[in-house]
């Protein structure tokens, strides 16, 4: 409610300001002799040729409009008075504020303290919400303050001239005073407007504004495109020690290859000199760019008594550089930003607000799910290291909304959307870890936790619904990876949903994910579950203590082994699961079942398991 009233008041003020300028010009047209005569002649011209009306009538119409002009000007003065009163009350309120957290307390103390010239530095890794936190602070405490706040983006500003120009442009854009609006309007006056505008236009710059104004320098790390990290870079040329040692080996090798060895040494030295030259000059250039910016900021702080907030990515600049250039030279107060759950919740709200779907009812369903389930499980997503980065977290939410929009709203049940969110999250994690090759063989509808333990050795914390029924079922990679892998839009969304619903082993997987020994009492399982049991037995060093033959025989009944494609599928899965591990007896018994009827058909693949199968097949064929 408060925000709505504020928006209405600001919009009204902006419109009244504009109308007040028109009103002033409207009154001056009649009060200034020369302008009145010009208008009279124009009216006479129109009366003569176009309009059947006399001058007295036009005068009476004008006098009525002039009354409206006077009302507008009176309203403008009232609003200006109310705005002044609001600023006065706001300033008194602001002086009493101490902040609600450590960040707000330290920044308010800095802004209210005028004894020591210094700047406030906000650092943190990429996507931790540094800009968001600063924006939120100034919106909360300074939106009606008389103190002006200027935001400067440092992106690509690598000279003092460009930085000064950007500051001046920002100050001009933020000048919403009546005088500035009046001067801008003057340029539209015929003939003399341009000259009047140039003569009366204010000169904008950091030296022309009120002391105590606040400058926010964002994207400070983007002054240069290179990361300022004091680490030794890879050499352009490196001596191959074994090549040179071989060159000097043997009875006559020294005399024969002496010149070649020297030449190699000279080449190495030359490359090193070139590398050092370019590396030093590039680094020196980058540091000089920052020194220019720091010098200007220092002038703004000390000479003009402004307050400065710098937002920068500590990952890019490096801790040593931040200390040498910023903290020591500018006497900075530093606040290091980390991600908090409330910031994540605000990202959800922003993502929902900014995404407009064609189907309004579908948008409400997706919005309801995010509000009820994802906010409730916010700590689980926070547990995953990749999504501590707010940009990657925002990507995850964006991907989920766009992917959910692929389906008909009748299919967007709570269980399906929860499974979809988990599937999209797994696809993103695999993408960032560069371990996504196994996702293509995940069967749609299978338990995600079971699949992750089977193929990757462990599962991240998944989002669960309160009912915990069918809520972590994998959805085909064509869907879950649609956004992150930039895949073409899947047309068969209905068949994907049907396949997801019909998967018959989910309950078995739910049980054995808790305890693999639950498979003993199960009758509904396939080779994936047998492989999982074998893996789990291996952890307890009990390979010989289970009757794998019975389980293999039962599991193979789920496949049509007359088709070589099914055999290929099973061996492919084995190669993805048993990386570097060999269970000789188990493998040979399984192979003996798979080759029946396929003795002359080779399995395609390059892993050691493919080789084992083909070797076993040839061995049995020869016998």
pLDDT in tens, 119-140: 999 998 776 778 888 999 999 9
| Phi, psi of 455, deg, nearest 5 | -95, -25
Q: How many helices (H) and strands (E) does the chain have?
A: 26, 5
Say if residue 257's pLDDT is above 50: no
Give the tokens for residue 532. Answer: 């999982």
Query: Two tokens at 417?
Result: 């959307």
For residues 331-346, average pLDDT: 79
Which pLDDT tens digit goes with each residue over 524-540?
Answer: 899 999 999 988 886 65
According to the model, what pLDDT value does residue 271 have? 61
Dig out the tokens for 413 from the structure.
């049940």
pLDDT higher than threshold 80 for residue 272: no
- The tokens for 444 are 């749609």
How far apart are the C-alpha atoms of 301 and 307, rounded to whole Å? 6
pLDDT band for position 258 (50/70/90)? low
Tens-digit pLDDT profile for residues 288-304: 788 888 889 999 998 88
- 228 near 320, Cβ under 8 Å? no
**SS3 category, 333:** strand
Contacts 24+ apart (CB under 8 A), 420-423: 420/475, 420/479, 420/480, 421/369, 421/373, 421/374, 421/463, 422/448, 422/462, 422/463, 422/471, 422/472, 423/448, 423/474, 423/475, 423/479, 423/480
Return the SS3 of 9.
Answer: helix
| Burial category of 284 from C-beta neighbours within 10 Å (exposed 0-12, middle 13-18, buried 19 and up) | exposed
CA distance 241 to 184: 73
Query: What percentage of the chain carries pLDDT values higher than 90?
Result: 32
Instruction: Say what angle helices 564-577 and 448-456 make with each other, to 10 degrees.
Output: 70
Specify whether the CB–CB gap between 525 and 555 falls below 8 A: yes
Rounded alpha-carbon distances, angstroms, from residue 487 to 86, 183, 289, 381: 54, 54, 41, 24
State residue 529's pLDDT score: 93
Q: What is the pLDDT of residue 246?
A: 44
Residue environment code for 217-240, b if the CB has 16+ CB neighbours within 10 A, otherwise e: bbbbbbbbeeebeeeeeeeeeeee
Rounded-to-10 torsion of CA 596, 599, 600, 604: 80
User: 266 falls in which pLDDT band (50, 70, 90)?
Assistant: low
C-beta atoms surrounding 115 within 10 Å:
5
Angle between helices 527-539 and 564-577 (to 10 degrees): 20
Average pLDDT of the residues of the chain: 82
CB 190 within 8 A of CB 281: no
Structure tokens at 70: 């006077």
Nearest to 110 by CA among 253, 310, 281: 310
Q: Report d(CA 349, CA 358) in Å as an integer.
A: 19
Q: CA-CA distance, 557 to 613, in Å (whole number)? A: 20
Short-list 78, 409, 442, 314, CA closest to 422: 442
Go through 569-579 and write b for each residue having 16 or more CB atoms within 10 A of its CB, e for each that does not.
ebbbbbbbbbe
Count how many residues are written for the chain: 623
Residue 76 banded pLDDT, cuts 50, 70, 90: confident
DSSP state of 385: G
Tell how strand 120-124 and strand 333-336 pair up: parallel
Tokens standing for 214?
């606040």
Count of CA atoms in the C-beta half-sphere (13 A) of 273 = 6
Which 8-state DSSP code applies to residue 396?
H
- Sequence-distant (6+) residues with CB within 8 A of 498 are none
Taking a C-beta distance cutoff of 8 angstroms, is the pair 163, 154 a contact? yes
Which two three-digit tokens encode residue 108? 């308010």
Least confident stretch, 48-62, 288-302, 423-437, 469-483: 48-62
User: What does the pLDDT read at residue 278?
Assistant: 47
Cβ atoms within 10 A of the Cβ of 334, count? Answer: 16
Are the CB atoms for 18 and 181 separated by under 8 Å? yes
- Average pLDDT of 343-363? 84
- 443 CB burial (10 A radius; 0-12, 13-18, 19+): middle
User: pLDDT tier at 451 (50, 70, 90 boundaries)?
Assistant: very high
Residue 594 CA to its chain's centroid (Å): 48
44's enclosing H/E stretch is helix 33-49
Cβ neighbours for 129, distance < 8 A, ≥ 6 positions apart: 337, 339, 340, 343, 390
* CA–CA dist 158, 169 (Å, integer): 16
pLDDT higher than threshold 50 for residue 233? no
Q: Give the separation between CA 150 and CA 541, rounded to whole angstroms.
A: 66
Over 80: is that where the pLDDT of 45 sits?
no
pLDDT at 485: 92
DSSP string, 513-548: HH-GGGGGG-----HHHHHHHHHHHHHTT-GGGS-H
| Chain position carrying tokens 């083909």 | 614
Residue 335 contacts residue 107 (beta carbons within 8 Å)? yes
Q: How far is CA 106 from the centre of its chain?
A: 27
**Distance between CA atoms of 407 and 84, rounded to whole angstroms?**
53
- The 214-218 sheet, strands edge to edge: 149-153, 214-218, 307-313, 120-124, 333-336
Which residues, in sequence order, are bridge partners of residue 473?
447
- State both tokens at 581: 């591990």
Q: What percent of the chain has a predicted confidence (pLDDT) above 70?
A: 84
């Amino acid at each position: 409610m408060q925000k709505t009233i504020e928006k209405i008041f600001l919009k009204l003020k902006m419109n009244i300001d504009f109308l007040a300028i028109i009103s002033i010009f409207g009154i001056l047209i009649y009060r200034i002799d020369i302008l009145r005569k010009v208008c009279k002649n124009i009216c006479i011209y129109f009366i003569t040729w176009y309009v059947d009306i006399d001058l007295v009538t036009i005068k009476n119409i004008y006098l009525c409009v002039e009354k409206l002009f006077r009302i507008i000007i009176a309203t403008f003065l009232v609003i200006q008075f109310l705005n002044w009163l609001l600023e006065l009350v706001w300033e008194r309120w602001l002086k009493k504020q101490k902040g609600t957290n450590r960040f707000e307390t330290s920044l308010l103390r800095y802004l209210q303290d005028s004894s020591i010239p210094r700047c406030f530095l906000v650092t943190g890794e990429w996507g931790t919400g540094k800009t968001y936190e600063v924006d939120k602070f100034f919106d909360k405490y300074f939106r009606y303050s008389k103190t002006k706040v200027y935001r400067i983006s440092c992106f690509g500003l690598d000279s003092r001239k460009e930085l000064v120009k950007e500051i001046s442009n920002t100050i001009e854009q933020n000048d919403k005073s009546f005088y500035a609006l009046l001067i801008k309007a003057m340029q539209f006056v015929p003939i003399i407007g341009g000259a009047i505008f140039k003569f009366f236009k204010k000169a904008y710059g950091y030296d022309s504004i009120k002391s105590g104004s606040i400058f926010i320098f964002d994207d400070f790390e983007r002054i240069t495109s290179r990361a300022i990290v004091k680490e030794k870079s890879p050499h352009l040329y490196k001596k191959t020690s074994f090549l040179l040692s071989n060159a000097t080996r043997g009875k006559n090798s020294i005399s024969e290859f002496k010149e070649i060895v020297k030449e190699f040494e000279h080449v190495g030295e030359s490359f090193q000199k070139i590398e050092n030259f370019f590396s030093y000059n590039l680094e020196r250039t980058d540091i000089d760019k920052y020194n220019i910016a720091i010098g200007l900021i220092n002038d703004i702080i000390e000479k003009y008594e402004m307050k400065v907030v710098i937002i920068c990515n500590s990952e890019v600049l490096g801790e040593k550089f931040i200390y040498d250039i910023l903290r020591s030279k500018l006497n900075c107060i530093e606040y290091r930003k980390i991600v908090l759950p409330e910031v994540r919740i605000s990202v959800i709200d922003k993502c929902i607000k900014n995404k407009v779907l064609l189907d309004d009812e579908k948008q409400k369903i997706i919005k309801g799910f995010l509000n009820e389930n994802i906010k409730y499980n916010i700590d689980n997503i926070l547990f995953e290291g990749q999504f501590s980065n707010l940009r990657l977290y925002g990507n995850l939410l964006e991907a989920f909304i766009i992917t959910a929009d692929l389906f008909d709203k009748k299919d967007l049940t709570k269980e399906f959307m929860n499974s979809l969110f988990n599937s999209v999250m797994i696809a993103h994690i695999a993408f960032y870890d560069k371990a996504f090759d196994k996702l293509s063989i995940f069967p749609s509808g299978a338990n995600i936790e079971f699949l992750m333990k089977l193929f990757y050795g462990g599962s991240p914390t998944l989002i669960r619904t309160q009912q915990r029924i069918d809520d972590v079922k994998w959805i085909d990679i064509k869907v879950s990876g649609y956004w992150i892998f930039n895949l073409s839009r899947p047309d068969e969304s209905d068949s994907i949903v049907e396949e997801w619903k019909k998967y018959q082993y989910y309950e078995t997987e739910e049980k054995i994910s808790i305890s693999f020994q639950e498979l003993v009492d199960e009758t509904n399982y396939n080779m994936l579950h047998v492989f999982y049991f074998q893996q789990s037995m291996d952890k307890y060093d009990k390979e010989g203590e289970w009757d794998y033959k019975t389980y293999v025989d039962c599991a193979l009944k789920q496949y049509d082994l007359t088709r070589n494609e099914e055999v290929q599928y099973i061996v492919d899965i084995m190669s993805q699961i048993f990386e570097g591990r060999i269970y000789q007896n188990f493998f040979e018994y399984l192979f003996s079942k798979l080759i029946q009827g396929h003795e002359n058909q080779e399995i395609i693949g390059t892993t050691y398991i493919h080789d084992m199968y083909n070797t076993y097949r040839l061995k049995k064929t020869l016998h």
